[in-house]
Structure 1
Amino acid sequence: MHELTRQQTAVMTMEATCAESTLLANILEALLSDADFVTTLTAHGFDTLPRVLYERLLQGRS
């Protein structure tokens, strides 16, 4: 029974992490569609995204 509880907890944690990741990707996509936000990022030296994040954003568009 202990193993079942451990696995259920792991699944719930993974589902929560996936939901949070999707939410953050959606927020970031909305922010990156704002030209003023992108200009501010670029002005502060943030002109690239980590590859994994970029790929995740591309997945959301297809």
Structure 2
Amino acid sequence: MPNHANINVPNLYDNWTYQVMLNVPTFVRSEVQHLVILYNKGQTTAATDNLSWPIFLDL
């Protein structure tokens, strides 16, 4: 059984959150590309997906 006094929960949570958020831009870009194809009759050249963190934070 782990020694609860030696477990740094905030640090574990921060690391987990960082790893999850690291994959968000890649996932969103992929999903935007699927939507472009879906709503543009199969064409993939309807829009560019130049997404960045400032754009995410403005939503």
Q: Tell which structure's C-alpha radius of gyration is larger.
A: 2
Relative contact order, CA 8 A, sep 6+: which one is greater? 1
**Which range, TM-score by smaller chain?**
0.3 to 0.5
Structure 1 length-normalised TM: 0.43
Structure 2 length-normalised TM: 0.45
